[in-house]
Amino acid sequence: MKVSLVIMAAGLGSRYGGSKQVDGIGPHNEILMEYSIYDAIRAGFNKIVFIIKPEMEETMERLCGGYLRRKTARDGSPVEVAYAFQDFSSVPDFYHIPAERTKPFGTVHALLCAAEAVDGPCCVINADDYYGIDAYRTIYEELVKLPAEGRATMVGYQLKNTASLHGTVSRGVCTVRDGRLDSVREALKIQLYPDGSLKDLAEDRALAPDTVVSMNFWGFMPSIFPALRAYFEDFLRNEAGDNIKAECLLPMMVDQQMRRGKLEVSVLHSADRWFGMTYHEDREVVAAELRRLHEKGDYPADLRV
């Protein structure tokens, strides 16, 4: 059985100020997604699917694809590599794309673009986040037990560990009951302050530091794709309009499916700390943390061997 790590790497990184997906951040110029890939393979994943812009394929093959094909998964099989392209060619014909639009349509659209490459359980992640070694072990063990339909999973993180002092962030704010996701709402402008307090600026409300949030670390079965497609088409018909920045987001799709009684989502927790690069000012903090993890022995000198 192929268990895929699906990496969403087609974003433009506008807040970061460059293509953070291919920014060499590790002590030997590793890009951040290489740590996710290394952690996933040692947890048991045996297929890597990159969701990218078409013009990124040569770069991604040079940075990651080539050496990954020479790696062996934990089950003894060669690691499989696939590319999925997130561009406007996958948008249904009934929707007229505004001429000024350059951004992709968000994370629901991204995962939909990978439908043909995913043939078993999959973990979906952001390319510019570090989720931790334990997180991949935890979600892999849950994924291989999921039934074919009606169930999904996610790893939740505490809000206080996922915000940035350098600007606002978007997070899926979760309500969890008895280990299950009860609801999730997208908070688009969360600000962390030097005293540790947090506020949703869009709704002018304080948020508790230990609030569980989604960092787009989802586990799905292939049966999720029809729901993704229906949700994306509804979004295009009813919400996108001429808004050149409108995005169709996974947390909102998951919330809808749960409210309709069609999806149950287990919430997992990791002992590791999340970190990521939303803003360019986050770069030095992330680089220092990665150096520490190498020095501690959590990662070898060369991830690519």
pLDDT at 149: 94
Label each residue of the chain as H, E or C. Answer: CCCEEEEECCCCCCCCCCCHHHCECCCCCCEHHHHHHHHHHHHCCCEEEEEECHHHHHHHHHHHHHHHCCCECCCCCECEEEEEECCHHHCCCCCCCCCCCCCCCCHHHHHHHCHHHCCCCEEEEECCEECCHHHHHHHHHHHCCCCCCCEEEEEEEEHHHCCCCCCCEEEEEEEEECCEEEEEEEEEEEEECCCCCEEECCCCEEECCCCEEEEEEEEECHHHHHHHHHHHHHHHHHHHCCCCCCCCCHHHHHHHHHHCCCCEEEEEECCCCCEECCCHHHHHHHHHHHHHHHHHCCCCCCCCC
pLDDT at 124: 97
pLDDT at 21: 55
What's this model's pTM, rounded to 2 decimal places? 0.92
Domain at 4-296: CATH code: 3.90.550.10
Beta-strand pair 275-276/129-130: antiparallel
Domain ranges of the chain: 4-296
CB 157 within 8 A of CB 270: yes
pLDDT at 125: 97
**6 bridge partner residues:** 49, 124
Task: Give the pLDDT means over successive 10-residue stretches in the chain (305 positions).
Answer: 94 47 78 95 97 91 93 96 94 94 93 96 94 95 96 94 87 94 92 94 92 94 97 96 92 96 94 78 87 94 88
**Cβ neighbours, 10 Å, residue 17:** 11
Q: Alpha-carbon distance 282 to 289, whole Å?
A: 11
Tokens representing 240 are 């996108």
Q: What are the residues whose beta carbons fall under 8 Å from the beta carbon of 13, sequence distance 6 or more?
A: 19, 20, 21, 128
